[in-house]
């Protein structure tokens, strides 16, 4: 049986490229190499940046790289000691603990009945 080589997906930002498909490929790549983003964020960000080429790489460097982002849709009432521990919570648990800011996309997503059993 021949070995299968899995390459790092790339994205250049051309009109014929599908960003959603690219994100799914990156997620699949991380799973294939057994790399979980939690606890490996610097390594994941480095690999993610390596995926971008041309104008998309320039945009990524100007708008994402080195920026510090803050979550504005979650409150600190989920009863967990660290943000990494929130991964084990379901949408229903986050709503019950009043952890999701009402009016945000996260709240709208979490209140859909089919989504409330999903874990973060």
Each residue's pLDDT tens digit, 109-118: 777 777 766 6
Interaxial angle between packed helices 19-32 and 41-50, expressed in degrees from 0 to 180 and rounded to the nearest 10: 130
Q: Which residue has the higher pLDDT, 23 or 119?
A: 23
Q: Which residue has the higher pLDDT, 84 or 48?
A: 48
Smallest CA-to-CA distance from 90 within 68, 112, 58, 70 is with: 112
């Amino acid at each position: 049986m021949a070995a299968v080589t899995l390459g790092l997906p790339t994205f250049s930002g051309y009109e014929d490229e599908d960003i959603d498909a690219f994100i799914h490929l990156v997620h699949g790549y991380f799973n294939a190499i057994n790399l979980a983003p939690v606890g490996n964020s610097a390594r994941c960000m480095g690999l993610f940046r390596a995926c971008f080429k041309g104008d998309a790489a320039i945009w990524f460097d100007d708008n994402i790289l080195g920026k510090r982002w803050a979550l504005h849709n979650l409150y600190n009432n989920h009863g967990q000691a660290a943000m990494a521990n929130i991964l084990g919570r379901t949408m229903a648990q986050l709503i019950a603990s009043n952890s999701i800011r009402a009016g945000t996309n996260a709240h709208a997503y979490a209140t859909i009945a089919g989504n409330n059993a999903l874990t973060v």
